[in-house]
Amino acid sequence: MSHILPSRNVSDTEKTLSLARETLHIEADAVRALAEQLTGPLGQNFIDAHKLLFDVTENKGRVVVTGMGKSGHIGGKIASTLASTGTPAFFMHPGEASHGDLGMITRDDVVIAISNSGESDEIVKLLPQLKRRGTAVIAMTGRSDSTLSKAATVHLDTAVAKEACPLNLAPTASTTATLALGDALAVALLDARGFGEEEYAMHHPGGSLGRRLLMHVSDVMVTGDRVPTVWEDALLTDAILEMSKKGLGMTAVVSRADELLGVFSDGDLRRTLEAHDNIRTLRVRDVMTSSPKTITADKLAAEAAEVIQRHKIASSGLLVVDRDNKLVGALHVLDLMRAGVL
Q: What pLDDT band is residue 126 in, cutting at 50, 70 and 90?
A: very high
% of residues, the chain, pLDDT over 90: 56
Least confident of 35-39, 163-167, 225-229, 286-290: 163-167
pLDDT in tens, 79-116: 999 988 888 899 999 988 877 678 889 899 999 999 99
**Residue 59, φ and ψ in degrees, nearest 5:** -100, 25
**Residue 2, pLDDT score:** 47
Q: How far apart are CA 192 and CA 301, in angstroms?
A: 29
How many Cβ atoms are within 10 Å of 101's Cβ, its own excluded? 15
277-290 burial, b for 16+ CB within 10 Å, e for fewer? eeeeeebbbebbbe
Q: Of how many residues is the chain composed?
A: 342
The letter for the amino acid at 250 is M
What does pTM read for this prediction? 0.63
> C-alpha distances in angstroms, 17 versus 22, 28, 172?
9, 16, 17
How many Cβ atoms are within 10 Å of 132's Cβ, its own excluded? 9
> Which domains are delineated in the chain?
14-195 (3.40.50.10490), 217-338 (3.10.580.10)
**Residue 260, pLDDT score:** 94
The DSSP 8-state label assigned to residue 278 in this structure reads -
